[in-house]
Amino acid sequence: MVCIRFLKALQSVLDSRITVLYETHKGLGARFVDFAGWRMPVLYSGVVEEHMAVREACGIFDVSHMGEIEVSGPGAEAAVQYIASNDIERIVDGQCQYTLVCNDTGGVIDDTIVYRRSADNFLFCTNAINTDSVFCWLLEKLHGREGVEVIDRSGEYAQIAIQGPASLDIFKIAFGIDTEEIRPFRFIETTVAGSLAIVSKTGYTGEQGLEIYLAPASAPAAWDALMAAGAGHGIKPIGLGARDTLRLEMGYPLYGYEITEEFGPIEAGLKRFVALEKGGFIGQKAMVERAEGAPKSVLVGLRMEGSGVPRTGYELFSGDKAAGNVTSGTHSPALKYGVAMAYVAPEFKEPGTRLNMQIRKRSVECTVVAIPFYRREKK
């Protein structure tokens, strides 16, 4: 395993991988960035324009860099229950669940969505940067178990997300499939652009929408069909830039920033995705201890009161006293002020608490606020 991990790390340093939609993005005038070993579009028309398209109409994302790891066999459900923090027994076939794969100390190896396709077939959707780690971790931790097979299926799936108020209509125009009745965190298996596909009511933007897992060979045709169907509905391709501002407005954690091998679900406010009471699972003891003890840091939302854009690593103060650090921040395109997530000492966690953020040589006031920052207006 060490060997595979090393070779893949070496490969990603030598040349970033591209997705099957790379030429499509080039044709759309994308600018690219190297992200987690992949050459991905960071923007097409501009972060703010793309962001608002998702909030007001529809955005289409290539998320083929994300990984898919299958756990199958008669022992699969028990294996998933042992590996992941959430209670897999709470979901049925055709349902998926946000869950964390934790290490023995209660830190996070990855946050994932796990799809229950049947009692003996589960699919983990992983962050691109963690696909190899999760795969190696599963092989190691499930080694010797009867009736469980772990397969990295990442090469067999491209992934396209469409998000925004018009996304379901556009999907229906493109493929004739009505997804209105699919509830959040449910999925169907159907045919999209000639490929067997998983279509799930999930996303990373706070808007309604779908994530489509399909064969790489069919992805360009599916993308083009969605773009054509959405032409009259304001569809825009969305890069990683707006993907980040969208998730930040919702206060969704991003691996490597809000959740790490050190800061786990207890600190990150993700306790509802940890079934502490279920049967034994990796990291359970550590997380029970973390949950019962007094945390050193708590994740909070911050709204900037003065001008300035909060960024990762900026320091927070209460008077002269160090209060914590920003994990991610941006200028919110929808709200038009700076928003950030930060780890602060528990005494500063209450909404309404005033803190100062050191931005270069300036000290700028900010306020602890509840997450999400952005709430969709009810229809």
Which residues would be at the binding site for another protein (CB under 8 A)? 42-43, 46-48, 241, 244-245, 307-309, 311, 330-331, 333, 360, 362
* Closer to another protein by Cβ: residue 65 or 243: 243
**Shortest gap between Cβ of 242 and another protein (angstroms)?**
8
Rank residues 126 and 328 by Cβ distance to another protein and give the closer one.
328
Q: Measured between alpha carbons, how far is 306 from 320 in angstroms, rounded to an integer?
A: 19
**Least distance to another protein, CB of residue 323, Å:** 22
Give dist(CA 95, CA 97) in Å, integer. Answer: 7
- Residue 37 or residue 308: which is nearer to another protein going by CB? 308
Reduced to 3 states, what is the DSSP secondary structure of residue 365? strand
How far is it, in rounded angstroms, from Cα 243 to Cα 237?
A: 11
Phi, psi of 68 (to 5 degrees): -130, 115
Q: What is the dihedral of CA 192, 196, 202, 205, to 10 degrees?
A: -50
Residue 116: strand pairing partners? 95, 122
Q: Which is nearer to another protein, 285 or 362 (CB)?
A: 362
CB of 58 to another protein, least distance (A): 20
Assigned token pair, 318: 């209460």
* Of 230 and 239, CB closest to another protein: 239
Smallest gap from residue 173 Cβ to another protein (A): 30
107: tokens are 């830190």
Q: Which is nearer to another protein, 303 or 331 (CB)?
A: 331
Min separation Cβ 360 and another protein, Å? 7
Of residues 286 and 309, the one with the C-beta less far from another protein:
309
- Whether residue 227 contacts residue 27, with contact meaning beta carbons closer than 8 Å, is answered with no
Eight-state DSSP code of residue 273:
G
> Which DSSP symbol is given to 295?
-
Shortest CB 48 distance to another protein, Å: 4
8: left (phi over 0), alpha (psi -120 to 50) or beta: alpha
How far, in Å, CA of 264 to CA of 276, rounded?
A: 13
Q: How far is the CB of 85 from another protein (least distance, A)?
A: 32
Paired with 324 in beta bridges are 316, 344
The letter for the amino acid at 58 is C
